């Protein structure tokens, strides 16, 4: 078990607090268990649940699933229509959002590794849009960056994306056009690539898409931040959403273990998860399963990141436990996000048998070979005064920065230095990286990631191998106001 001060998570380490002396065996010897059912505080979202069976019993809170139009087992073909969506958040309070095929979040795309995913995007918005498949190792032409990998999809037009899903894990899709506004209006959805090597009965699985929403008195999304202060702070909405719902409820059978598959789709908000009296077993993240599990009391998921968590809510039938988001400062003088309730877990008695003890959860995941690998410095910078703000890479906004060049087949270590007093979630398109210790050595637990928190005035080292997908790839802060203000750059991978 890594110690609290290990650099295991690079930027995460201050927030990941492994329980002293806790080992998985003790976490596994939990109590008796039973069924998990689900109820939501708000109405369902207009997309009928579709045909594909789900693992475990805990599917009702998960987003509705996209209809696979292709009968072949190795092809998943879905249509996503980007369009206006009105939602009644609570009785008498309707908000005017955008979503996919009538749904916020967009429908869950479920597939297995090696499947060919075909997504037909219809743009019924009044603005151009694209789809970026966050974390998926797509060919460059499928990366969804307007004017770089494809033209923007204009209103009334469509675009066909097609690529193989190479890796198990939880991913997500969202526009890469005017991302602050479009994600802020509700355009995001999950992609779950099931791992065929998952142990049986890990837990009753629920996909939780976390986000937030800011609306005006008419229920219309607030415009993106425009003042230097607001841009530096990053747009957070005051309404916290879990699968598009405000504080939904989930019925959990006494003694049943939950497997929470979490994606943070918010523009700026960090979610530090907590459940009083409980800790979580973290078994995976952005790019699928870890080499070994971690026990963590308050795991943090920053914008763009994913977490794969196991937890067994404890208590008697009739009691409840709250999954909450703890206050997070992101380097601000006051907490940027106050504590907010996420999901009310209500324990119910039922006939379902207890979840079995956890298996070892270890995975053979070798560290990348980095002997002789070049270190590539990338500095996240900020120049601001009362009237202007330039967030950038190496002191200049992204559109003025020289691309970083790399060769197909090479392995490098990106050294991402945060020169600012604020946290930034650094995201690399197209490739996984492996967080390293500050001396460059592999961490105790190996992980494949595409997004990582870089705390104020610190640096992270990220080993990456460029497989044979040449092209111009982006990297940027996933606080989208920061990306818009210039904290983005380009990586040119060449044969």
| Continuous segment of H or E residues that includes residue 206 | strand 204-213
| Continuous segment of H or E residues that includes residue 229 | helix 228-233
The residue (of 87 and 478) whose beta carbon lies closer to Cu ion is 478
In angstroms, the CA 40 to CA 50 distance is 18
Terminal C-alpha separation, the chain = 40
Taking the complex as a whole, the smallest distance from the CB of residue 483 to Cu ion amounts, in Å, to 7
Asked if 280 contacts 261 with a C-beta cutoff of 8 angstroms, the reply is no
In angstroms, the CA 19 to CA 29 distance is 16
The residue (of 429 and 482) whose beta carbon lies closer to Cu ion is 482
The residue (of 174 and 261) whose beta carbon lies closer to Cu ion is 174
Taking the complex as a whole, the smallest distance from the CB of residue 169 to Cu ion amounts, in Å, to 24
Taking the complex as a whole, the smallest distance from the CB of residue 266 to Cu ion amounts, in Å, to 13
Burial of 467 (0-12, 13-18, 19+ CB in 10 A): middle
Taking the complex as a whole, the smallest distance from the CB of residue 360 to Cu ion amounts, in Å, to 37
Q: Residues with Cβ < 8 Å from 176, sequence gap 6 or more? A: 130, 131, 132, 143, 144, 145, 146
Residue 495: Cβ within 10 Å count: 7
The residue (of 134 and 424) whose beta carbon lies closer to Cu ion is 424
Asked if 345 contacts 322 with a C-beta cutoff of 8 angstroms, the reply is yes
Q: How many helices (H) and strands (E) does the chain have?
A: 4, 30
The residue (of 150 and 268) whose beta carbon lies closer to Cu ion is 268
The residue (of 448 and 482) whose beta carbon lies closer to Cu ion is 482
Taking the complex as a whole, the smallest distance from the CB of residue 467 to Cu ion amounts, in Å, to 27
Which stretches does DSSP call E strand in 369-480? 374-384, 389-393, 404-407, 411-418, 424-428, 434-436, 451-454, 458-465, 471-477
The residue (of 183 and 361) whose beta carbon lies closer to Cu ion is 183
The residue (of 255 and 304) whose beta carbon lies closer to Cu ion is 304
Taking the complex as a whole, the smallest distance from the CB of residue 390 to Cu ion amounts, in Å, to 13
Q: How far is CA 100 from CA 142, 389, 487, in A?
A: 18, 33, 28
The residue (of 132 and 424) whose beta carbon lies closer to Cu ion is 424
The residue (of 268 and 370) whose beta carbon lies closer to Cu ion is 268
Asked if 133 contacts 118 with a C-beta cutoff of 8 angstroms, the reply is no
Secondary structure class of 230 (helix, strand, coil): helix
- The DSSP letter of residue 368 is P
Taking the complex as a whole, the smallest distance from the CB of residue 394 to Cu ion amounts, in Å, to 15
Question: Residue numbers of the site for Cu ion (CB under 5 A)?
Answer: 424, 477, 479, 482
Taking the complex as a whole, the smallest distance from the CB of residue 213 to Cu ion amounts, in Å, to 20
Taking the complex as a whole, the smallest distance from the CB of residue 304 to Cu ion amounts, in Å, to 11
In angstroms, the CA 478 to CA 426 distance is 6
Asked if 275 contacts 322 with a C-beta cutoff of 8 angstroms, the reply is yes
Instruction: Using the structure block, give the residue that is written with the tokens 């008695």.
Output: 349
Find out whether the peptide bond into 105 is cis, omega within 30 degrees of 0: yes
Provide the sign of the torsion angle of the four alpha carbons 261, 189, 238, 145, taken in this order: positive
The residue (of 47 and 231) whose beta carbon lies closer to Cu ion is 231
Taking the complex as a whole, the smallest distance from the CB of residue 5 to Cu ion amounts, in Å, to 25
Taking the complex as a whole, the smallest distance from the CB of residue 268 to Cu ion amounts, in Å, to 8
Tokens describing residue 461: 């080292």
């Amino acid at each position: 078990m890594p110690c609290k001060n290990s650099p295991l998570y690079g930027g995460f380490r201050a927030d990941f607090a492994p329980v002293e002396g806790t080992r998985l065996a003790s976490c596994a010897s939990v109590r008796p268990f039973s069924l998990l059912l689900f109820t939501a505080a708000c109405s369902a979202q207009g997309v009928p649940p579709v045909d594909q069976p789900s693992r475990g019993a805990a599917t009702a809170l998960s987003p509705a699933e996209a209809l696979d139009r292709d009968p072949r087992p190795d092809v998943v073909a879905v249509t996503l229509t980007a369009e206006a969506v009105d939602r009644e958040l609570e009785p008498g309070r309707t908000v005017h959002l955008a979503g996919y095929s009538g749904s916020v979040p967009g429908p869950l795309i479920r597939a297995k590794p090696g499947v060919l995913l075909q997504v037909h995007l219809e743009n019924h918005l009044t603005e151009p849009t694209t789809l970026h498949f966050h974390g998926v190792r797509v060919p460059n032409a499928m990366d969804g960056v307007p004017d770089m990998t494809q033209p923007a999809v204009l209103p009334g037009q469509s675009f066909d994306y097609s690529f193989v899903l190479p890796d198990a894990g939880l991913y997500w899709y969202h526009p890469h056009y005017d991302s602050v506004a479009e994600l802020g209006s509700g355009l995001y959805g999950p992609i779950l690539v099931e791992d065929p090597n998952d142990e049986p009965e890990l837990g009753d699985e629920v996909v939780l898409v976390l986000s937030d929403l800011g609306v005006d008195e008419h229920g219309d999304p607030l415009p993106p931040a425009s003042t230097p202060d607001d841009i530096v702070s990053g747009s957070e909405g005051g309404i916290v959403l879990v699968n598009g719902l405000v504080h939904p409820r989930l019925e959990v059978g006494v003694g049943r273990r939950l497997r929470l598959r979490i994606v943070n789709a918010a523009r700026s908000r960090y979610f530090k998860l907590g459940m009083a009296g409980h800790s979580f077993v973290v078994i995976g993240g952005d790019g699928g399963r870890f080499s070994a599990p971690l026990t963590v009391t308050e795991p943090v998921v920053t914008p763009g990141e994913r977490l794969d968590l196991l937890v067994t809510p404890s208590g008697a039938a009739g009691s409840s436990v709250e999954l909450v988001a703890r206050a997070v400062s992101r380097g601000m003088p006051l907490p940027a996000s106050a504590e907010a309730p996420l999901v009310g877990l209500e324990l119910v008695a039922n006939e379902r048998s207890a979840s079995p003890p956890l298996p070892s959860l270890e995975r053979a995941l070798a560290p990348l070979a980095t002997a002789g690998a070049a270190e590539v410095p990338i500095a996240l910078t900020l120049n601001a005064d009362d009237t202007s703000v330039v967030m950038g890479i190496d002191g200049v906004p992204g559109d003025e920065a020289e691309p970083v060049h790399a060769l197909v087949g090479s392995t490098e270590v990106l050294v991402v230095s945060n020169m600012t007093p604020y946290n930034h979630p650094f995201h690399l398109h197209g490739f996984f990286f492996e967080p390293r210790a500050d001396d460059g050595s592999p961490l105790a637990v190996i992980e494949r990631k595409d997004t990582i928190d870089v705390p104020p005035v610190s640096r992270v080292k990220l080993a990456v191998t460029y497989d044979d997908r040449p092209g111009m790839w982006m990297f940027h802060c996933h606080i989208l106001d920061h990306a818009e203000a210039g904290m983005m750059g380009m990586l040119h991978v060449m044969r």
